[in-house]
Amino acid sequence: MKLPRTGGKQAVEALLRRGFIIHRIRGSHYILKHSSTGCRVTVPYHRRELAPKTLLSILRQAGISVEEFIKLI
């Protein structure tokens, strides 16, 4: 399935729906942590779209498939 073009804001909102919480914010990066597994993911929160490889890396760290991410958006 094709990876959608999304920004940092949409990625953070999707991860929040998946059970992540905002652990802290450092500059323009959000560090999210999963409430039960403790998995940490860093998401750049810029005004432009995320690069496809960056988004793929975020999804890999979070343990989310592309199909599941599309449903969460």
Name the burial class of residue 51, with classes exposed (0-12), middle (13-18) and buried (19+) by CB atoms within 10 angstroms of its CB.
Answer: exposed
| pLDDT at res. 35 | 86
Domains annotated for the chain, with CATH where assigned, are 8-72 (3.30.920.30)
Q: Please determine, for residue 1, whether its predicted confidence score (pLDDT) is greater than 90.
A: no
Rounded Cα distance between 50 and 28, Å, is: 13
- Quote the tokens at residue 9: 């804001």
For the stretch 23-48, pLDDT in tens is: 999 999 999 999 888 899 999 998 88
- Quote the mean pLDDT of the chain: 93
User: What is the distance between the alpha carbons of residues 35 and 44, in angstroms, rounded to a whole number?
Assistant: 20
| Helix, strand, coil abundance in the chain, percent, nearest 5 | 40, 25, 35
